[in-house]
Every structure is written in C-alpha cells, then in structure tokens.
Amino acid sequence: MLDINLLRTNPDLVRENIKKKFQDQKLPLVDEVIELDKQNRAAMQQADSLRNQRKVISKQIGGMMAKGQKDEAEAAKAQVNAIAEQLVELEKKEEEYAAEIRKRMLVIPQIIDDSVPIGKDDSENVQNEIFGEPVVPDYEIPYHVDIMESLNGIDLDSARKTSGNGFYYLKGDIARLHSAILSYARDFMIDRGFTYYIPPFMIRSDVVTGVMSFSEMENMMYKIEGEDLYLIGTSEHSMIGKFIDTILDEKDLPQTLTSYSPCFRKEVGAHGIEERGVYRIHQFEKQEMIVVCKPEESMDWYNRLWKNSVDFFRTLDIPVRTLECCSGDLADLKVKSCDVEAWSPRQKKYFEVGSCSNLGDAQARRLGIRVKGADGKKYLAHTLNNTVVAPPRMLIAFLENNLQADGTVRIPEALRMYMGGKTVLSRG
C-alpha cells in the first residue's frame, strides 16, 4: 500500500506506474482517493475546530454558574451537547472516509523499481542469466510421473479417491527423496546464517490482507469455514505476519529467517490441475527465506536471496536460469521480482521452481512493521521473500536431470547423507 502523501504530492507518478503495469482500469482510483482524502481532512479540521469550541464553552459554564447566570449556563450546556452530536456525525464520516480510502489504496499497485522491464504479461519476462549447461541426453526422458511409478514412488489413483485431482501419495524412495530435499534445504539456509522456523499454518484475515493483494487472495487462499482463519499458501504469509504491529530496533536488522511449511492453494484460474502430474497441485511443502531489513539494504538482499536459490539447485546438478518479471507480471505489492527456473531435458525448456520478490514497504505499511532508528525516529521496514525449494514440483527437475540411461536416478553428493548414504535410486 502506498503512502497517502505520495498521492497528495505526486499523483502523476502513481498514474504512470499504473500505466506501466497495464492496469488502466485503476486510474480513476487516484482521483477518487485524492477527493476522499480532501473531504476527510476537511471533516477532521471541522471536528478539531468544534472540539476547541467545546473546550472554550465548557470552561465558561463554570464561571457562569459561579456568577449565578443559570440561564446562560444552560444555554451553553445545550450548545456543548449540540457540538457533541455534530462531533459524533463527523467522527462517523471520518471512519467512512478512511475505510473508502483504504479500500482503494489496497488495490493501487506499489511503485515498481526503475530496473523492472516494461511488459504486459509473463510472455514479456526477460531472461537474466543461465547457470549450468542445459543438457538433453541421447536417451528418452519419460514423464515425471512415469519415472516415479517406475520407482514405485507415487500413487495418484488413491489420492483421487480420497481428495480429487491435485493431490498425491508419495511413497518409498520418492517420499524419502522429497523429505531429504527439504532437510537439505533447511540446513543449506541455516549454514547461510538464516534462523530456522516452523510457523503457524493458518492465519487471520488481517494478516492475509497485510501480506498479499485481493486478487492473489481470491485465487489462492482456502478459508476455514466459521472461523477467521485461512490456510497459508506459503510460509511467507505467517512469517511476515509475525511482525504485525511491531517496532523493531534498527540494531536487530536484518532479520533473516528460513521457514518450512505445507502450503495450500486453490489454484483458481490455473490451466489444468493435472490428473497425472505434480506440477500444479493443491498442496505441497516448501522451504522459504524471508528478510526484514532497512530500506537502503533491500536491493542488496534481493540479489543475495535469488543467488541462494541458484546455488542450492546447482549443488544438486540442476541447470537453472533467472527470469526478470516484467511490470505486467508483477503482483501489486511487489517492487521487483524474478523467477528461478529449472531445466527440463524432457520438454527442452525451463520451468518455474521458485520466485524471489522485493516488496519494499508495502507489507510493512499494511501490517504496521516499523523500525526505530538510532536517532529515535521510526520508519517502515522493507520485506523480501524467496523460495529455497518447493517439492514435489522440484522433484520433476531433480528426476529429469539425474535420470540415467538404465532408468536409475543418481543422488548428488550433497543429498546422500539425507538418503541414508544411497548413491542411486533403482527400480524395485
């Protein structure tokens, strides 16, 4: 959410940013907010004037009574009562104006960084850098479910009976591999100085609206019926939420956290919850990284975060690339974002396995996350998040890139201690 002062002082910047994001339908919101803010401030000024007037009259009543001016005192009391009624109405108006302003401000997008490429949608995202050699072997790479089934590691038919499409049973070595990757990701991030967390898997609505846009919420979140609770779509939601209404001491920044959680997503609008696949699903597990820092450090942390993901995947011998998200592909709260994509030798192309985002002060403003500087002044923190790894989607890249010609799957050295010393997965 933007600072209201920006709309007051530089509405053209806000309008230009909306255009850069190809959201012209939101342009009228700028003028609506400016007008509502003007009316709200007028109401507040009128209320302040009436409070001062009431204070003066209230003081005079005692003097009138002391002088025996009973009629004048009663008239003054009536005037005070009338002012009180006016104040009730004005305060109600202020609340209404504030609510209408906030409703509009919540959907006006954050000002994007100057380095973000301008483009209408994800088809105009820009490749940044490739890490590792994308190889297509001279033997066939089967569909990932076929690889898993050959290793007796997945049961989709039973999952459809219990839960429907978009769910799965992993078993045997594939289930162990799934857990091993998460354990390795946890230790990888701890070794890089991040504090490990297991957060709540449900959050309240005020946290949901603090960490994400309404469109994301509508398409992602599962609501717990009869309660003010939502299942998290990623641990970022509850990890950033833990700082709600907090004043952090500047010397305690940056806060660098890594968190494990299951994630639950409706995937509304997703093209094809697959009957045979684990790419786009309703539940998965993830290791995340979160940073809360000073504003001047957020871009440095942004670059460090996506590099962590690249380094992690390269230790597992998976080629990856980074893809800069263009303006039209950025969620409204994001200042800058890039996807980390893994190489698929079967499809001969890259696919998304993680996303790194700098949200500037957007979440901090919504949630009231402030920092107390050395000079005693308070300012809004910046927040960032990035995926370390999100199996089982990541298993697709792992299996395809480590599949051998004889149908076995090689276990890279970094993962062997988590797999009981196994060097390969073999058909059982």
Task: Report d(CA 261, CA 97) in Å as an integer.
Answer: 39
Task: Name the pLDDT band for 257 (thresholds 50, 70, 90).
Answer: very high
What's the pLDDT tens digit per position in 368-392? 999 999 999 999 999 999 999 998 8
Six-digit token string for 309:
């993901």
Q: Which residues are bridge partners to 369 per DSSP? A: 246
CB-based burial label for 50 (10 Å; 0-12, 13-18, 19+): middle
Task: Name the pLDDT band for 67 (thresholds 50, 70, 90).
Answer: confident
What's the pLDDT tens digit per position in 111-164? 999 999 999 999 999 999 999 999 999 999 999 999 999 999 999 999 999 998
Q: What is the mean pLDDT of the chain?
A: 93
Task: Report d(CA 147, CA 130) in Å as an integer.
Answer: 26
What's the pLDDT tens digit per position in 25-58? 999 999 999 999 999 999 999 999 999 999 888 8
Is the pLDDT confidence value at 269 over 70?
A: no
Task: Name the pLDDT band for 62 (thresholds 50, 70, 90).
Answer: confident
pTM of the predicted model, to two decimals? 0.90
Q: What is the mean pLDDT of residues 213-235?
A: 87
CB-based burial label for 407 (10 Å; 0-12, 13-18, 19+): middle
Task: Report d(CA 3, CA 122) in Å as an integer.
Answer: 28
According to the model, what pLDDT value does residue 347 have?
Answer: 94
Is the pLDDT confidence value at 240 over 80?
A: yes
According to the model, what pLDDT value does residue 275 have?
Answer: 55
Query: What b/e readout covers 58-90, taking b as 16+ CB neighbours within 10 angstroms?
Result: eebbeebeeeeeeeebeebeebbeebeeeeeeb
Domains of the chain (ranges; CATH) run 4-105 (1.10.287.40), 122-425 (3.30.930.10)
Q: 135, 319 in Cβ contact below 8 A?
A: yes
Is the pLDDT confidence value at 268 over 70?
A: no
Percent over 90 (pLDDT), the chain = 84
